[in-house]
A and B are shown apart, each in its own frame.
Chain A
Amino acid sequence: MSDQKTPTINFKEKAMELLPEGASFEACLTCGLCSSGCPASGLENMDPRKFIRMAMLGMDEELSTTPWVWCCTQCKRCQHVCPMNIDISQLVFIARGNWPQEKKPAGIVRSCQLIRSTDSTSAMGLPPEDFVFVVDDVLKEVRETQSGFENLQAPMDKKGAHFFVNQNSREPMNEPDEMVPLWKIFDMVGADWTYSSKGWAAENFCMFSGDDDAWYQVIKTRVDAVHELDCKVWLNTECGHSYYTMWNAIAKFGMDVNFKLESLVTYYAQWIREGKLPVNSDWNVNNIKFTVQDPCMIVRKAYGDAIADDMRFVVKKLVGEENFIDMQPNRSANYCCGGGGGFLQAGMTEHRRAYGKRKFDQIAATKAAYVLTPCHNCHSQMEDIGHFYGGDYGVVHFWTLICLSLGILGENERTYLGPDLLALID
């Protein structure tokens, strides 16, 4: 540990610079709706209302050094419920960036370093050639072992493909078979898609470290990769923050891009509506109950309720309308799970779980057997708090359930299914 001192920020001045986007922090009514609805309230003896008040009172030294900024996942729920539209997460971002590199949570810093260590932009440091190898290897095996998929494709660096598809590093690194269901879905709908050996990774912890330059560099590599392949659509995989980090950066840094940014969820819904993905819920003969987690990174912070409605459309088709139970609150008002903002990487396990208690209660109240979510961080966090608080639900990706419903889920692709679901497909 270094003894480098954390510089003190003048938060009030910074807040003024943020206007108009940042809304006027001075307009705060101290009503407490933000704190009441924030799962990080109370951690490190801090909450959003207190943060704003201390900023306005000039208590800059305390705010510059409070570890709470690493507990706020920047989920923007506080802004959502604030009558004055005040966005605390912007101050939190500035505070994070101000911490000396040596004092920031090592997990986040290291992930950001790894992202920038190769052209992959992978937080696990998986180099391009290894990614290409893993994809090739898994593809070969599927072609050899799964009947009906002898011609399955996983195109790499295919110029002019419609979709540039990104990939969370967790799959090629730790659970490569989890890539396969998505390939099968693309195969079924006849999508013209490609992976890229450069800039293929989805995750971006540089944004969470509060480091604007690093964030920009990562996104630049990815944007260049899409341009190089001349793709029309950058299609984000089932990962929440990776959408936000790209979408927000393009606006924030004024980047020039000639492709569209889209989320897989929108396409799942579209393909089902068009009949290209003929999913149904006939398999769910035991009426197993499902709920859905709205990742704040794509719902509240980006698309709004439209994508949440798409998610519900897909889920209901997959499991049956009567077997879907919504969490409360939901859509744009949903709680962050507590896995976001780099919390999972920050090494603050106890705090992260305390934050996640809100999510656990939400899930427990539904009594659902499974949570579906198109977000890797949500997935990991909900599994962890489930174990910690004694819940007995499972967490599944959309691609798993889509392939299950279509009867094409391979044996190695069933990691997240519990015995109740396995019994239905064996």
Chain B
Amino acid sequence: MTEEARHFETELAVIGSGIAGFAASIFALNKNITTAQVGNTGAVAYTTGYLDLLGKIEGETGAVENPWESVKTLKNNCPNHPLSDISTNDIEEAFIQFTTFLGECGIAYSSPGKTNITALSPAGTLKKTLCLPSTMAPGPKAFAAQKPCVIVDFKGLKGFSGRQVVANLQDKWPNLRTERISFPDMTSGEIYPEVMARALEVEQTREKLAEAIKVVAEAVKVIGLPAVLGMHSPDFVRAELERLTGLEIFEIPTMPPSVPGIRLREMFEQVFPQKGLTLIPQQKVQSLTFKDNEVVLHIRDNYGPITIHAKAVILATGRFLSGGLEAHITGISEALLDLPVTQPEKREDWYLNQYTDVRGHAIHKAGIEVDSSFRPLGKDGKPYHQRLFGAGIILAHQDWIRSRSGAGIAIATAYKAVEAVDNFLHA
């Protein structure tokens, strides 16, 4: 039996299905660039749903209130930071296009505001973010207005504890209490947010849950729930629960595996093919061949070999968790093309002695270098190939975890990379 190879032709191929990869595809669609995207689930399935731009500046204490001002200071503090060369106008435009697209596809998001929002973490601590899903938006508002509120959690649900949330917030939010209820028709064993979210797509489940919520709400008008309000139509599910209870309801992210990330992934997998994008989900590019007039991506799925012939490629393969970078005894390497990786000289320098050291660890800034057109640099310090571009957290000189800037780096650099691709294709 011979296997039939499948071939696709496209202008742009995006490698990676994290926020950077998805953002790149959105920007390319908006520019009418034909696009193919390949990549298996990355960190996107673990995200809280919050889109951070910048929550913390290295060397400064306290959280960032105005990320637009703070981004400008990066130019002095960390001139090599991928965001330091991108104008705030471009960053804002990138966030607007990204969140607008999500909204049009069924997951409404708040637009980027002038300042950061103080949002709730799964543990009930406070964090700064720029945009959040509409299902979560009433939470920070209720907190700011100090409205009486009940945090409801569920028997058998790990990764979200109302007691923990209340314990962390009680000094800052006096009228907060918690209640634990059973999720309708799921009484035994561990239950997962994903399963609850899918069950809440069903009318009967919503009706039963609404009754249970009304009982514990008593006179309180605002209810915080773990993020389980539907998978495919979260805004509708939340509106329905509000209608059925007559209460204001909002979501708080849970620990991974959490619903907001799975929502995004499934929405993209659903919508991209409908918009004419060739999506090869859950597969890795195995190798790339560069030619004068095209780049060929080699992939293999259950059914057999696939090749994609592209005019330009964006590499958005993330860091260690997603497999874009690999750590070896001898050092850190880039997995697909063996691009040079900027990294500490010796392995001993990867981490400081104390894991919690406030200065952060050098390994968390490792990554690839790009030029001003977001072309990754090869070993000779020149662009690796005119058809190769890079975006996302694979880029060096940033510690997105410490600076609370994961989505910001992914979205803004993807925007610039697609702009460069567009210039290259249509020059």
Residues of chain A in range 361-389 having any CB-CB distance to chain B below 8 Å: 361-362, 364-365, 367
Q: Which residue of A lies closest to B232 (CB)?
A: A328
Judge whether A105 is part of the interface by a CB distance below 8 angstroms.
no
Q: Which residue of B lies closest to A335 (CB)?
A: B198
Least distance between B281 CB and chain A CB atoms (Å): 7
A361–B198 Cα gap in the complex (Å)? Answer: 7
The answer to whether A36 touches B321, judged by C-beta atoms less than 8 angstroms apart, is: no
A196–B262 Cα gap in the complex (Å)? Answer: 46
Least distance between B16 CB and chain A CB atoms (Å): 12
The answer to whether A83 touches B188, judged by C-beta atoms less than 8 angstroms apart, is: no
Kindly list chain B residues whose C-beta atoms are within 8 Å of the C-beta of A29: 321
Judge whether B45 is part of the interface by a CB distance below 8 angstroms.
yes
Contact mask for chain B residues 33-56; partner A; CB cutoff 8 A; 1 contact, 0 none? 000000011100110000000000
Which one of B185, B301, B302 has the greatest number of beta carbons of chain A within 10 Å? B302
- Contacts A29-B321, A33-B45, A361-B198; is A260 near B1 (CB within 8 Å)? yes
Q: Which residue of A lies closest to B199 (CB)?
A: A361
Least distance between B328 CB and chain A CB atoms (Å): 14
The answer to whether B257 touches A361, judged by C-beta atoms less than 8 angstroms apart, is: no
For B282, give its contact among A31, A47, A80, A357 (CB under 8 Å): A80
Kindly list chain A residues whose C-beta atoms are within 8 Å of the C-beta of B195: 36, 358
Judge whether B290 is part of the interface by a CB distance below 8 angstroms.
no
Kindly list chain A residues whose C-beta atoms are within 8 Å of the C-beta of B281: 305, 332-333
The answer to whether B303 touches A250, judged by C-beta atoms less than 8 angstroms apart, is: no
Interface window among A147-155, A282-290, A296-304: A296-304
Q: Which residue of A lies closest to B322 (CB)?
A: A83
For A81, give its contact among B45, B231, B301, B302 (CB under 8 Å): B45
Kindly list chain A residues whose C-beta atoms are within 8 Å of the C-beta of B194: 36-37
Kindly list chain B residues whose C-beta atoms are within 8 Å of the C-beta of A261: 1
The answer to whether A42 touches B302, judged by C-beta atoms less than 8 angstroms apart, is: no
Using a Cβ–Cβ cut-off of 8 Å, how many residues does chain B contribute to the interface with A?
39
The answer to whether B1 touches A36, judged by C-beta atoms less than 8 angstroms apart, is: no
Residues of chain B in range 269-303 having any CB-CB distance to chain A below 8 Å: 269-270, 273, 281-282, 284, 301-303
Kindly list chain A residues whose C-beta atoms are within 8 Å of the C-beta of B273: 305, 309
Contact mask for chain B residues 190-214; partner A; CB cutoff 8 A; 1 contact, 0 none? 1111110011011111000000000
Kindly list chain B residues whose C-beta atoms are within 8 Å of the C-beta of A362: 198, 201
The answer to whether B202 touches A301, judged by C-beta atoms less than 8 angstroms apart, is: no
Which one of B1, B281, B322 has the greatest number of beta carbons of chain A within 10 Å? B1
Which one of A42, A80, A303 has the greatest number of beta carbons of chain B within 10 Å? A42
The answer to whether B190 touches A85, judged by C-beta atoms less than 8 angstroms apart, is: no
The answer to whether A328 touches B266, judged by C-beta atoms less than 8 angstroms apart, is: yes
Kindly list chain B residues whose C-beta atoms are within 8 Å of the C-beta of A85: 40, 282, 284
The answer to whether B42 touches A83, judged by C-beta atoms less than 8 angstroms apart, is: yes
Judge whether B189 is part of the interface by a CB distance below 8 angstroms.
yes
Q: Which residue of A lies closest to B41 (CB)?
A: A83
Kindly list chain B residues whose C-beta atoms are within 8 Å of the C-beta of A328: 198, 201, 231-232, 266, 270
- Contacts A37-B194, A333-B269, A364-B202; is A81 near B41 (CB within 8 Å)? yes
Residues of chain A in range 43-79 having any CB-CB distance to chain B below 8 Å: 45, 47
What 17 additional pairs, Cβ within 8 angstroms, besides A35-B192, A362-B201, A364-B203? A32-B257, A33-B257, A36-B193, A37-B262, A42-B188, A42-B189, A42-B190, A81-B45, A81-B282, A261-B1, A303-B303, A304-B301, A328-B266, A329-B231, A361-B201, A365-B202, A365-B232
A302–B1 Cα gap in the complex (Å)? Answer: 15
The answer to whether B192 touches A41, judged by C-beta atoms less than 8 angstroms apart, is: yes
Judge whether B344 is part of the interface by a CB distance below 8 angstroms.
no
Judge whether B140 is part of the interface by a CB distance below 8 angstroms.
no
**5 A-B pairs with the lowest CB-CB distances in the bound complex, closest first:** A365-B201, A328-B232, A36-B257, A42-B189, A36-B192
Kindly list chain A residues whose C-beta atoms are within 8 Å of the C-beta of B231: 328-329
Least distance between B85 CB and chain A CB atoms (Å): 30
22 contacts between A and B (CB under 8 A): A31-B257, A33-B45, A36-B262, A41-B190, A80-B282, A81-B41, A83-B42, A83-B321, A251-B1, A304-B301, A305-B281, A306-B303, A329-B231, A332-B282, A333-B269, A333-B281, A364-B202, A364-B203, A364-B204, A365-B198, A365-B201, A365-B232
Judge whether A82 is part of the interface by a CB distance below 8 angstroms.
yes
Kindly list chain A residues whose C-beta atoms are within 8 Å of the C-beta of B193: 36
Kindly list chain A residues whose C-beta atoms are within 8 Å of the C-beta of B322: 83
Q: Which residue of A lies closest to B279 (CB)?
A: A305
Least distance between B199 CB and chain A CB atoms (Å): 5
Kindly list chain A residues whose C-beta atoms are within 8 Å of the C-beta of B46: 31
Kindly list chain A residues whose C-beta atoms are within 8 Å of the C-beta of B201: 328, 361-362, 365
The answer to whether B256 touches A32, judged by C-beta atoms less than 8 angstroms apart, is: yes
Kindly list chain B residues whose C-beta atoms are within 8 Å of the C-beta of A326: 270
Judge whether A257 is part of the interface by a CB distance below 8 angstroms.
yes
Kindly list chain A residues whose C-beta atoms are within 8 Å of the C-beta of B205: 361
For B189, give its contact among A45, A83, A260, A309 (CB under 8 Å): A45
For B303, give its contact among A304, A331, A357, A365 (CB under 8 Å): A304
Q: Which residue of B lies closest to A42 (CB)?
A: B189
A330–B232 Cα gap in the complex (Å)? Answer: 11
The answer to whether A333 touches B303, judged by C-beta atoms less than 8 angstroms apart, is: no
Least distance between B166 CB and chain A CB atoms (Å): 25
Residues of chain A in range 13-45 having any CB-CB distance to chain B below 8 Å: 29, 31-33, 35-37, 41-42, 45
Q: Which residue of A lies closest to B43 (CB)?
A: A83
Kindly list chain A residues whose C-beta atoms are within 8 Å of the C-beta of B190: 41-42, 47
A367–B270 Cα gap in the complex (Å)? Answer: 19
The answer to whether A33 touches B202, judged by C-beta atoms less than 8 angstroms apart, is: no
Q: Which residue of B lies closest to A260 (CB)?
A: B1
Q: Which residue of B lies closest to A248 (CB)?
A: B302
A151–B129 Cα gap in the complex (Å)? Answer: 72
A29–B42 Cα gap in the complex (Å)? Answer: 12
Contact mask for chain A residues 313-344; partner B; CB cutoff 8 A; 1 contact, 0 none? 00000000000001011111100000000000
Kindly list chain A residues whose C-beta atoms are within 8 Å of the C-beta of B262: 36-37
A33–B199 Cα gap in the complex (Å)? Answer: 17
A329–B266 Cα gap in the complex (Å)? Answer: 7
Residues of chain A in range 154-187 having any CB-CB distance to chain B below 8 Å: none
The answer to whether A250 touches B41, judged by C-beta atoms less than 8 angstroms apart, is: no
For B198, give its contact among A32, A250, A358 (CB under 8 Å): A358
Kindly list chain B residues whose C-beta atoms are within 8 Å of the C-beta of A358: 195, 198
Residues of chain B in range 61-75 having any CB-CB distance to chain A below 8 Å: none
A276–B232 Cα gap in the complex (Å)? Answer: 37
A31–B43 Cα gap in the complex (Å)? Answer: 10
- Contacts A42-B190, A304-B303; is A257 near B1 (CB within 8 Å)? yes
Kindly list chain A residues whose C-beta atoms are within 8 Å of the C-beta of B191: 42
